[in-house]
A and B are shown apart, each in its own frame.
Chain A
Amino acid sequence: MTRVGNSGTDTHLDEREMQDAQRETMRAEAPPELPAGGEAVAAFEEAYLLYAPRLQRIAIRRFGIEPGDAEVLVQDVFTTYFQHATDVERLEPYLIGAICNASRNYLRRSSASKAIFCGEEPCAATPDDALLNEIERKTLLSQMLARVGGDCRDLLRRFYVNGDGTEVLAHAFNITRPSVKVKLFKCRQRALEAYRAIMEKSNG
Chain B
Amino acid sequence: MGEHIAHTELSLFAHDKRSFERERREAIESHIATCAECGATFDFYAVAEEDLGDLAVWQPIIGSTAAAMRAYANQCAAEDREADELLKGIFAKPRKAALTNVRNQRKFHTGGVVRRLNAKAHEVVASLPLDALIFADLAQAVADLLPDDIYPNDAVYELRGTAWKERANALRRLAEFDEALESLRRSENAYSRLRSSGHGLAAVDLVRSAVYYERGELQKATKHVELAEHGYAHQGLERQRMKAILLRGEIAYESLDYAGAASTFQQIIDFGERISDARWIARGSYCRAACEVERGNLSEAVMLYHSALMILREIGPTEDRISTEWGLARVVLHEGKPTDAARRLRDVIAAFEEIGRVSDAALAGTDLAEALLVLERWDEIGKVAAHAFRVLKKAGILTGALMALAYLKEAAARRQLTPGTLKVIREYLRRVERKPDLLFAAPPEIPR
Contacts and interface: CB of A to CB of B under 8 A. Distances in A.
Given A71-B65, A98-B196, A45 B70 contact: yes
B438 interface: no
Contact of B290 (A5, A45, A56, A82): A5
Given A37-B78, A79-B155, A192-B44, A6 B326 contact: yes
B51 A13 contact: no
Nearest to B131: A27
A177 B89 CA distance: 77
B36 interface: no
B72 A93 contact: no
B313 to A, nearest CB: 11
A49 interface: yes
Nearest to B67: A45
A128 to B, nearest CB: 15
B236 A12 contact: no
A47 to B, nearest CB: 10
A145 interface: yes
Interface in B56-97: 56-59, 61-62, 65-66, 68-70, 72-74, 76-78, 80-81, 91
B237 interface: yes
A10 B210 contact: yes
B11 A188 contact: yes
Interface in B143-180: 151-155, 158-159, 162, 169, 173
A5 B236 contact: no
Q: Indicate the member of A6, A73, A87, A123 with the most B CB atoms within 10 Å.
A: A6
Interface residues of A, number: 96
Interface in B182-204: 194-200
Given A4-B261, A48-B69, A80-B198, A138 B151 contact: no
B337 to A, nearest CB: 18
A37 B359 CA distance: 43
B195 A76 contact: yes
Contact of B234 (A34, A57, A81, A118): A118
A56 to B, nearest CB: 6
Contacts of A73: 195-196
Contacts of A1: 290, 326, 363, 430
A83 B158 contact: yes
Given A10-B126, A84-B198, A142 B286 contact: no
Nearest to B41: A192
Contacts of A21: 315-317
B239 interface: yes
Contacts of A192: 7, 41, 44-45
A57 B61 CA distance: 9
Given A9-B317, A27-B127, A57 B56 contact: yes
Interface residues of B, number: 112
B385 interface: no
B342 interface: no
Label chain B's interface by main secondary structure.
helix
Contacts of B159: 83
B299 to A, nearest CB: 17
Contacts of B238: 89-90
Contacts of A18: 279-280, 283
Contacts of B288: 5
B360 interface: yes
A132 interface: no
A124 B52 CA distance: 28
B243 A8 contact: no
Contacts of A38: 77
Interface string A31-75: 110100110110011001100110011001100000100011111
Given A13-B206, A106-B195, A79 B65 contact: no
B231 to A, nearest CB: 9
Interface of B: 7-8, 11-12, 41, 44-45, 47-49, 51-59, 61-62, 65-66, 68-70, 72-74, 76-78, 80-81, 91, 115, 119-120, 122-128, 151-155, 158-159, 162, 169, 173, 194-200, 206-207, 210, 230, 233-240, 243-244, 246-247, 249-250, 253-254, 261, 265, 279-280, 283, 286-291, 308, 315-320, 323-324, 326-327, 330, 355, 357, 359-360, 363, 430, 433
